Structure 1
């Protein structure tokens, strides 16, 4: 074997090739040169955009608000404060032309009423005083009457400072009667609960000077005739776990005098009357001598009772 043949074997050259073989990899192809990116044509929309800034945004100063006139009030609020309906409902009445100011129909939203203007809402003249409702758990020695002399204090003392509105008690209570008493400046509510046709129930707990006979209890349950007038009683019963002189009475009248008259008619002296429920309202969380405003839902319930 010649030296040339040995070198061919070791190098692994192809037969007949004069160049020695190489195991080095071929160099990668150079990347094609890229020209600069073409800018997108600017549109009218883009040209309107303000240039981005990295500082705080510039705020356009607002015009100062006009001072409120204490003698003016928006018409829908005026109607809502009168208790006729909500502001949203008042807007509907205004748009439909059912509200007049000084005799002229007003359909403008945001119209302001001035002091002294006469507002007619759906045929009725309204006042802007907000309707308020206060529930009192009346103690003894206070009366709803103003004619009992200086020794008897009026129940209005107990809610003094609660409101600046002129409030009136719904129904009457003497000095010895305790329990729930409603106050309001809503004349419609006052009228409703003094009518004999009103439908809401009141519950009284009565303490008698002696045990109530069962036969008298049955007569009361049927509705006694007193002074040629039948008194309708919804329910009467003995108080559970109490002496037979403690009686519960449920009827629709808010006149406490009627409650006293029923038992006196059968020969009993009434020692104490406590109104424990009034048209769905109760004494829950209302200690004796305390008061609270009614909730919106309670007001709605009263109006629908």
Structure 2
């Protein structure tokens, strides 16, 4: 097993993030710094990250959280702000980490797991996982701007296309389906046209919804949902 995969299977992060940790010199193998993510871990090797011995997880855990506003999507925050890990600390699972990221003020569906392989698959931009958001704006979205978003916009880091957009109960509320995993992409779409996003709620991710999961609550995924995620295709 390669070193980055070994780290991912230990429930620390995705394989992609594990590779970055290795390249930054954060990992030691048998007391020596190892900078090659592709190093083949041998039986008896001692792998250390952050002063802790790593051991691959045998029991994988998958949690769906309905994230409330005001929580950081990270395993720990040096500034002492509230993190999503506090919301699932009674799950009994060790070494969980979030799959992807929701802004502090964004609410909705967030997955947490200790399955590094699945996290890698779902987080990597090349897999273009489908997401649906409910967006509340500070003013009504004009029809010309609606059409611009539907046709595709050019932002500072390139073109972004949505899969679909629709007005909801009022013209300052829209539903947006998108594959892009770029940072703050939904907020930036509307900000580029002069709108402020007052509320942003992710209602669907990779075919999963937060139905019957109240804000701030969580549940374990069913066996069927786990299988569907592992074989998920848009």
- Asked if the contact 1:170–1:183 (Cα under 8 Å) also holds between the matched residues in 2, the reply is yes
The residue number in structure 2 matching 1:51 is none
Distance 1:292 1:270 in 2: 28
**Structure 1: runs of 5+ lacking an equivalent:** 1-80, 83-101, 104-115, 119-125
**Structure 2: runs of 5+ lacking an equivalent:** 1-8, 11-41, 47-54
Distance 2:96 2:213 in 1: 20
TM-score, scaled relative to structure 2? 0.72
The residue number in structure 2 matching 1:159 is 88
- Asked if the contact 1:202–1:254 (Cα under 8 Å) also holds between the matched residues in 2, the reply is no
TM-score, scaled relative to structure 1? 0.56
Query: What's the C-alpha RMSD, in Å, of the aligned pairs?
Result: 2.4
The residue number in structure 2 matching 1:149 is 79
Distance 1:165 1:297 in 2: 22
Q: 1:149 to 1:175 in 2, by over 3 A?
A: same
* Paired residue secondary structure (1:143): coil
Q: Indicate the structure whose relative CO is greater, using CA pairs within 8 Å and at least 6 residues apart.
A: 2
The residue number in structure 1 matching 2:13 is none
The residue number in structure 1 matching 2:28 is none
Moved over 2 A (4+): 126-129, 145-150, 253-256
Shift of 1:193: 2.2
1:282 aligns to 2:220 (yes or no)? no
Higher Cα Rg, which structure: 1
Distance 2:136 2:126 in 1: 28
Deviations 1:94-118 (A, max 9, x none): xxxxxxxx77xxxxxxxxxxxx699
The residue number in structure 2 matching 1:233 is 162
Q: Give the paired residue count.
A: 184
Q: 1:290 to 1:256 in 2, by over 3 A?
A: farther
The residue number in structure 1 matching 2:151 is 222
Aligned mate of 1:193, from 97, 122, 126: 122
The residue number in structure 1 matching 2:106 is 177
Distance 1:256 1:283 in 2: 22
